C-alpha cells in the first residue's frame, strides 16, 4: 500500500489529483502540501513512496524542494508536474533526475502508470532501461536514448514480441514531443492513433519509433532544446545526430558559434581525445554493433557510416579492433554458437542438482 504526497499551490489541482489517486486500490494515504517548504515538512514527518511535484509555487518552488528531497531521500520517487508554458523550468527539472514527468492536466491512466515507479524494479532490466530511456529522451540526449532503446530489446528476447512494451515506448516518445513543444506532422499523429486502435507488425513499430525520434531530435538539436550539464554536450549531441553525414570540425564549431581553433582545444580538454579520434571511435563502435546484430553486407555498413570505400573502412576498422570486419563478425558468430551449446548443459546440471 502506497503513501503519496501531492505538492501544488492550486487547491483544485490538488483535489483533482487526490480524487484520481483515491480511486486506485494500492494507494493507502494521500498527503497534500501547497509549496516546497510544506512539502519538506511532510516528507520528514512521514514515510512516503512517491511525490507529485508542481514546479511553480510560492515560498519554495518545486525545483528546489525536489533537489533537497533528492539529497536527503535518494530513493523517494519524484514525478514532476509541468506544462509546456513552463518549458525552461521543466528543463531544469530534468537536471535533478526526476523519475518521471507528467504534463498538466494528467489523465487518470498516466497517474496510475506513474505508480509503477514505486515497485522494486532492481531485478527487472527492461523496466530499468525504460526509465533510463525516458530520462535520456526528456534530457535530449541522443546517444543515451539510442543506447537505452537498443538495450530494451537486448535484455530479454521474450520482450521482442511484447507489443505493450512498444506501445509504452511510443507513448513516451509522444510525451517527449509535447514536452519539447514539438508539433508532429499529421502522418505521425495518425500513426500514433493507429497504435492505440490496432496492433502492428514488430517491424512497423520499430520503424515508427525511429522516424519519430529522428523528428524530435532534429528539432531538439537544431534549436538547442536539450538540458545538459556541460556546454560541450550540445556539440556531442550534434555530432551524434550528424555522425554518418557531413560532420566536420568546422560545421560543429559553427553550430557552437565559436572558432574552429577554440572548439578543437575545448573538445580535447572536455572529451579527452581530439575531434577526429572521437568521430572515428564512435563510427567503429556503431560498425561493431551492426556486424554483431545484423547480416548487412560489410560494404553497406561502410556506406551507412559515411565511408566512400569499403577497403578504407576495413583498414580503419582493423586498426581500431585488431580484426578485419569479416573476422570480427566470424569471431562473434562462433562465440554466440558456443554460448548456445553451453547453455543447455548448464540447465541440465541445474536440473540434476535440484532432483
Count of beta carbons in the 10 Å neighbourhood of residue 179: 24
Number of domains in the chain: 3
Domain end: 65, 94, 117, which one?
117
- Whether residues 113 and 148 share a domain: the answer is no
Question: Can you say whether residue 224 is alpha, beta or left, with left for phi > 0 and alpha for psi between -120 and 50 degrees?
Answer: left
Q: Of 64, 87, 117, which residue constitutes the final position of a domain? A: 117
- 211 and 145, same structural domain? yes
Give the CATH number of the domain where residue 100 resides. 3.40.50.2300
Tell whether the torsion through CA atoms of 279, 283, 286 and 292 is positive or negative. negative
Note whether 50 and 141 are same-domain residues: no
For residue 268, is it within any domain?
no
- Distance between CA 49 and CA 78 in Å, rounded? 9
258 domain residue, yes or no: no
CA distances from 31 to 14, 69, 240 (A): 10, 16, 44
Whether residue 257 lies inside any domain: the answer is no
Q: What is the pLDDT of residue 347?
A: 43
Domain membership of residue 248 (yes or no) is no
Instruction: Say whether both 97 and 76 belong to one domain.
Output: yes
Does residue 240 form part of some domain? no
pLDDT at 324: 93
Q: Supply the range of the domain harboring residue 315.
A: 273-355
**Could you tell me which residues come within 8 angstroms of residue 239 by beta carbon, excluding any fewer than 6 positions away?**
247, 252, 278, 279, 282
Per-residue pLDDT of the chain (355 residues; tens, 9 = 90+): 789 999 998 888 889 889 888 888 888 889 999 999 999 999 999 889 899 998 888 888 888 888 888 888 888 888 888 775 556 666 666 666 677 778 777 778 778 877 877 764 444 566 677 878 888 898 899 999 998 888 887 644 444 456 777 777 888 888 888 888 888 778 777 777 766 556 566 777 777 888 889 989 999 999 998 888 789 999 999 999 999 887 899 999 999 999 999 999 999 999 999 999 999 999 999 999 899 888 899 999 999 999 989 999 999 999 999 999 999 999 888 776 765 555 444 444 444 434 4
Q: CA angle at residue 88 from 85 to 253, to 5 degrees?
A: 130
Whose grid coordinates read 533528492? 70
C-alpha cell at 42: 511532510
Q: Are residues 146 and 50 in the same domain?
A: no
User: Do the Cβ atoms of 131 and 99 come closer than 8 Å?
Assistant: yes
Distant-in-sequence, close-in-space partners of 255: CB < 8 Å, separation ≥ 6: 234, 235, 238
Note the pLDDT of residue 217.
93
Residue 241 lies in a domain: no
Out of 55, 82, 117, a domain closes at 117
Neighbours of 191 (CB within 10 A): 19
Residue 110 near residue 102, CB atoms below 8 Å:
yes
Query: What pLDDT, on the 0 to 100 scale, is given for residue 23?
Result: 85
Q: Would you report the helix, strand and coil content of the chain in percent, each value rounded to 5?
A: 65, 10, 25
- Please tell me whether residues 108 and 165 are part of one structural domain: no
**What distance in Å separates the CA atoms of residue 238 and residue 252, rounded to the nearest whole number?**
7
Characterize 68-100 residue by residue with b for buried, 16 or more Cβ atoms within 10 angstroms of its Cβ, and e for exposed.
bbbeeeeebbbbbbbbeebeebbbbbbebebbb
Bridge partner list, 54: 81
- Same domain for 296 and 315, yes or no, is yes
Q: Give the sheet arrangement for strand 77-82, strand by strand.
A: 27-33, 2-7, 50-54, 77-82, 100-103
Cα atoms in the 13 Å half-sphere on the side-chain side of 76: 27
Residue 254 grid coordinates: 559553427
Same domain, 52 and 81: yes
| Residue 20 maps to a domain | yes
Distance CA 54, CA 36 (A): 9
**What is the Cβ-side half-sphere exposure of residue 288, based on CA atoms within 13 angstroms?**
15
Does residue 264 sit within a domain?
no
Amino acid at each position: 500500500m502506497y503513501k503519496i504526497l501531492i505538492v501544488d499551490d492550486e487547491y483544485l489541482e490538488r483535489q483533482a489529483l487526490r480524487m484520481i489517486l483515491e480511486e486506485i486500490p494500492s494507494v493507502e494515504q494521500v498527503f497534500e502540501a501547497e509549496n516546497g517548504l510544506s512539502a519538506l515538512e511532510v516528507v520528514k514527518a512521514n514515510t512516503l513512496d512517491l511525490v507529485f511535484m508542481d514546479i511553480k509555487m510560492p515560498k519554495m518552488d518545486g525545483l528546489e524542494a525536489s533537489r533537497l528531497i533528492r539529497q536527503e531521500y535518494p530513493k523517494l520517487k519524484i514525478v514532476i508536474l509541468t506544462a509546456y508554458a513552463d518549458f525552461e523550468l521543466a528543463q531544469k527539472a530534468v537536471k535533478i533526475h526526476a523519475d518521471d514527468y507528467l504534463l498538466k492536466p494528467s489523465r487518470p491512466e498516466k497517474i496510475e502508470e506513474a505508480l509503477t515507479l514505486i515497485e522494486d524494479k532492481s531485478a527487472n532490466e527492461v523496466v530499468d532501461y525504460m526509465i533510463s530511456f525516458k530520462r535520456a529522451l526528456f534530457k535530449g540526449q541522443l546517444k543515451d536514448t539510442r543506447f537505452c532503446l537498443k538495450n530494451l530489446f537486448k535484455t530479454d528476447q521474450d520482450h521482442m514480441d511484447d507489443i505493450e512494451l512498444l506501445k509504452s515506448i511510443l507513448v513516451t516518445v509522444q510525451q517527449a514531443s509535447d514536452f519539447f513543444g514539438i508539433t508532429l506532422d499529421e502522418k505521425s499523429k495518425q500513426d500514433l492513433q493507429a497504435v492505440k486502435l490496432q496492433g502492428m507488425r514488430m517491424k512497423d513499430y520499430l520503424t515508427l519509433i525511429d522516424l519519430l525520434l529522428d523528428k524530435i531530435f532534429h528539432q531538439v538539436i537544431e534549436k538547442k532544446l536539450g538540458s545538459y550539464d556541460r556546454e560541450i554536450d550540445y556539440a556531442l549531441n550534434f555530432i551524434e545526430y550528424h555522425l554518418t553525414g557531413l560532420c566536420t570540425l568546422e560545421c560543429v564549431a559553427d553550430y557552437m558559434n565559436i572558432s574552429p581553433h577554440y572548439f578543437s582545444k575545448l573538445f580535447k580538454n572536455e572529451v579527452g581525445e581530439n575531434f577526429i579520434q572521437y568521430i572515428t571511435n564512435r563510427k567503429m563502435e556503431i560498425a561493431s554493433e551492426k556486424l554483431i546484430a545484423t547480416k548487412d553486407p560489410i560494404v553497406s555498413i561502410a556506406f551507412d557510416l559515411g565511408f566512400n570505400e569499403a577497403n578504407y573502412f576495413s583498414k580503419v576498422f582493423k586498426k581500431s579492433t585488431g580484426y578485419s570486419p569479416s573476422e570480427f563478425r566470424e569471431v562473434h558468430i562462433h562465440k554466440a554458437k558456443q554460448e548456445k551449446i553451453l547453455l543447455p548443459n548448464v540447465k541440465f546440471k541445474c536440473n540434476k542438482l535440484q532432483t
